[in-house]
Each structure stands twice: as C-alpha cells, then as structure tokens.
Amino acid sequence: MKKLLLGDEAIALGAIHAGLGGVYAYPGTPSTEITEFIQGDAIARERGVHSRWCTNEKTAMEAALGMSYAGRRALVCMKHVGMNVAADAFVNSAITGVHGGLVVVAADDPSMHSSQNEQDSRFYATFAMVPTLEPSNQQEAYDMMQSAFELSEALHEPVVLRIVTRLAHSRAAVEVHEPLEMQNLGICQERWVLLPGIARTRYAALVEKQAEMLAAAETSIYNKVEKGQGTLGIIACGIAYNYVKEALGDGANVLKVSQYPLPEEAIRQLASENSSVIVMEDGQPVVEQQVKALLGAGYDVKGRLTGDLPRTGELTPDNVAKALGAGEKEIMAPSEVVAPRPPQLCQGCGHRDVYTALNQVLATYPDYRVFGDIGCYTLGALPPFKALASCVDMGASITMAKGAADAGFHPSVAIIGDSTFTHSGMTGLLDAVNDKSNITVVISDNLTTGMTGGQDSAGTSKYEAICVALGVEPEHVRVVVPLPKNMEEITRILKEEIDYPGVSVIIPRRECIQTAARKAREARKAKENA
C-alpha cells in the first residue's frame, strides 16, 4: 500500500508502525509535523501513544528516556537548535544507555529557512558517540524508523535520525507495511545513576561499542557502492544522493552514506579506485573533515572546505551539477513584476498593538532598548515598528535585558512570547528577581505557539501564577488586553512599570487571530456535521 507523505509524515508513520510508545517534542520548523501527524493518527490514538507537547527539548529528551527505561519505544523530535537545549540529557543518555528503543529526530535547516543559524546535528551524534541514520528520500525516512528502533535496542544506545528541511517538507509516494504491535520490554532492571565511578565504567563501555557501531554501518543496507566511469569518487550523504543521481545518472562512482559512523572500509576502497573524492553533504562539512582525516593530507578530497561547493546554504541540484562538471542550467532572473515582500505580523495581531504601545511609551525616554526573543513577534524588528535591539536564542530577551540593566542601562525592556517564556524564559526571570534587576518584561500572550502553527502552549492560564511564584511582586504582574481601544490603559501601565525600580511583568493577552479563526472554522464544521 502506498501513501503520499511529507518526509515528516513518513517518519511519524514509520514510528507508529514500528510499535511506538510515545513521542516527545517542542514545536520547531521543520520538525513540527512529525508530532502533529502522530497526534492525528487513528492507530496512535487507539493505542494510546503519548503525543502531548513538552515545555522544551530538554524535558522532551528526559521524558523519552524515562519511557525507554520503562521498556517502550520512544521518539524525540526537534529542530537543530533544539539539540542545543537537549544536549545535556542527550549526551548523558549515550552513557546511561537505553532500554526500549530511543530515536532522536534532529531536523536541520540549511539555508536558515526558519532559523537563526546553520547547524549540523551530525556533530552532536559524533560528540555523543551514537549512530546516525540520514534518509535520502521519504521511503527511507519511513523504513529507517523501524531500523533505528531495532538498532537502538540491539546496541542499547539512542540513535539519531537526521533530516533536512528539503526532505521534511517535500512529498513522495511511500510503500507502507502493516503496523507492528506496540513494543514493551518491561521496566529496566538496571539503575542509571551517573555517579562519577559508575559513569566512568559506562563511558568505557560506550567507547567499546564503537567497533560494533562501525561494523553496523559497514554492512548497512542504507550505505551502498555504485561503480561507474571516470576517476572521481563521490560520497553522497542523505538527500545529496538524489542531486548526484539527477546530475550524473547511473554512470558515476558513488558511495551513498545514510548510516553513520562513516563506513571507513568503503571510503578507503572508493579512494583507492579513484584519483580524488568529492563529498556531497547538506549542512556543514562533517563528513568532508572526517574523510580528510581518514585518507590523509596527500589525498585530494573536495567539498565545501575546498570551495567546490558553497560553504553556506543548502545543496541544490544546480550547485551539485556544477561541482560535478555536469554543466549549468540557465537560471532565470527574478521577476520584476512581483515586488519582494518581507514577512509581517498578521493584520489584527495583538503583537501589533503591543509594539505600538511600547514605541509610544519608550519614545518619551532619552534612550532605551527592547530585547527580543524567538517567535512570530520577532517581526517587530522590521518596519513599521523597528522595535527590537536583539533576538539571539530562546529566552535570551530576559537575560539580555538583565545584563544591560546590570550595566546601569535604563529602560531595559524584554519582550517574550508565552510559549518561549515557559520554554526558556522562566529561569532568566528568576535570576532577575534574585538580583532585583531594574527590568520590565513583556510576556506577549497569544494563547498558542503561533510561529509553528498554533500548538498548545505549556503555560496557558498560568503565567501570572508562575511569575508570582518566581518572586515577582504580585502588584507588578499586570495583565492588559492589546486592542486599539485599550491603548490609553496599556501605555499608562507600561509607563508605570518601566519607572518602577525593580522587576515588573506585563502580560498583554489576546488570542492569536489565526488560531481563533481556525477554531471558528472547526466549530462551524462541527455544527454542520452535527
């Protein structure tokens, strides 16, 4: 049976059909649709597969590790920067080991389609010394889920499944199989207590497993050698394999790599039969660096580091074809009929009223800075508002505002979204309270995780209580409704709290208009079908 699936959907369905017990995730493009698919799948609902959103990627990784300890197969999903948040738990999970299969999906975003940086999650897998699977197409994305869970249980280690945006958000026909029964190995009988003496023993055991992981990669069905003409050897990783085939067809000397650690013997064999090797990989030159080290300085290894491929951005069929000498296609000039249009906050969005009020109030001070955060409200940095001085990472608004205040700067204002606040902002607010910092924090609450499509927000209806519990004085935790008719009240409250010499929190609260519109459509549809 075939289904037309996004790469994300193929992963989700593959996990369900592999006997998944639960998925743990924080929404982040391009990984969001994996969890959403599982949430909407009939088999997953019937089996009671856990699929609620987590507060952040670290809590997701830890919860998945707990499910693994209880003997169930667990899936963790995040975008590449989420690996930074989950890293403590992820790296240590390689040392504790796993019981039920544990797969970590890391969705990288070359070219930064919806991200603040380019980052390659294969580094994390190498750092933690665990295997990585990297599908080249949607069919492999589906098939690899069962393989990944089986490999994880065989090695007693987490397995990383690395994808990129182009694969996550493109569709293809996928042959699916009958779902396996939900796996249950029973509760683990070991104790995962990483006291130094125990951790040293477990780390040594992890190092000893490297030979087994390498052997698995050398014999993997996902790594294959194709022999052709010429003296150029091509190492094609993941999705790059498709671009190579499009450029050269079946006539090239290709080593397809979709399971790591790198199959060293296959690479040595490819190098011995060719005068040079070029590495095609989407992301950073992870494999290129390793191949250079493996083959030695005297061997000609080409790729991103040598300038044969662009150093930044995602691979494309065009730049791959150019690097392989397969000719360049004519590239049409951008249309001059359609004017470029930068992204903007939706008309009627509550964030607009928040920025209007902020700009109005702050204009009365000789100097000021508004430190921003990750979310759709980051668009407040663009015209017409031009309100933000910074946007660095999840939660950085509050801590940067605190740092500026520590340096004596005032007014120092932070603006952060509701979901981002519970993800990474709470600890920064606690620091500010403990230091009695002179900052004003605006938690712009649109009752959803708006940037990624309207997922549940962990702190909904709890933000006032959270702020008070963290030590903010109750009289300085204030809620407003961001609407033009309330502008006088909003600006007055903003002025009062900015002038207060301590930590104050203002919560403008109005539901995201996109979420509200979707709920209205769903209600109408339910009424029609009743």
pLDDT (0 to 100) of residue 181: 95
Residues 376 and 482 in one domain: yes
Strand partners, 73: 20
pTM for this prediction: 0.91
Specify if 342 maps to a domain.
no
Structural domain includes residue 50: yes
Query: Per the domain annotation, does 339 fall within a domain?
Result: no
Q: Are 170 and 245 in a shared domain?
A: no
**What confidence score (pLDDT) does residue 56 get?**
96
Same domain for 369 and 292 = no
pLDDT of the residue at 110: 93
Last residue of a domain, one of 173, 208, 243: 208
Residue 201 sits in the same domain as residue 230: no
Inside any domain, residue 116: yes
Q: Could you tell me if residue 528 is inside a domain?
A: no
Split into its structural domains, the chain has a count of 3
Burial of 256 (0-12, 13-18, 19+ CB in 10 A): buried
Q: Is 340 within a domain?
A: no
> CA 228 from chain center: how many Å?
37
Residue 529: per-residue pLDDT: 84
CATH number of the CATH domain containing 474 = 3.40.50.970
- The residue range of the domain holding 234 is 224-323
| Residue 436 forms part of a structural domain | yes
Q: How far apart are CA 160 and CA 127, in angstroms?
A: 12
pLDDT for 361 equals 97
At residue 329, the pLDDT reads: 65
The answer on 354 and 464 residing in a single domain is: yes
Asked, for residue 204, whether it belongs to a domain, the answer is yes
pLDDT of res. 335: 76
- Degrees, nearest 5: CA angle 174-178-183: 115
Q: Do residues 84 and 194 share a domain?
A: yes
Residues 378 and 438 occupy one common structural domain: yes
Length of the chain: 530
323: left (phi over 0), alpha (psi -120 to 50) or beta: alpha
**Domain end among 208, 237, 260:** 208
Instruction: Say if residue 314 is in the same domain as residue 372.
Output: no
Consecutive sets of 10 residues in the chain, 530 residues long: mean pLDDT of each? 96 98 96 97 97 96 97 97 96 98 97 90 97 98 98 98 97 97 94 95 97 97 95 96 94 96 97 97 96 95 96 93 82 75 87 96 96 93 94 95 97 96 96 97 91 82 96 98 96 97 97 87 83
| Own/partner pairs, 468-477, CB within 8 angstroms, 24+ separation | 470/426, 470/429, 470/430, 470/433, 471/430, 471/433, 471/434, 471/503, 472/429, 472/433, 472/503, 472/504, 472/505, 473/502, 473/503, 476/500, 476/502, 476/503, 476/504, 476/505, 477/504, 477/505, 477/507
Check whether residue 37 and residue 76 sit in a common domain: yes
301 and 377 share one domain: no
pLDDT at 518: 86
CATH number for 279: 3.40.50.920
- What is residue 89's three-state secondary structure? helix
**Are 58 and 202 contained in the same domain?**
yes
pLDDT at 456: 82
Phi, psi torsion values for 415, nearest 5 degrees:
-125, 130
Q: Are residues 157 and 239 in the same domain?
A: no
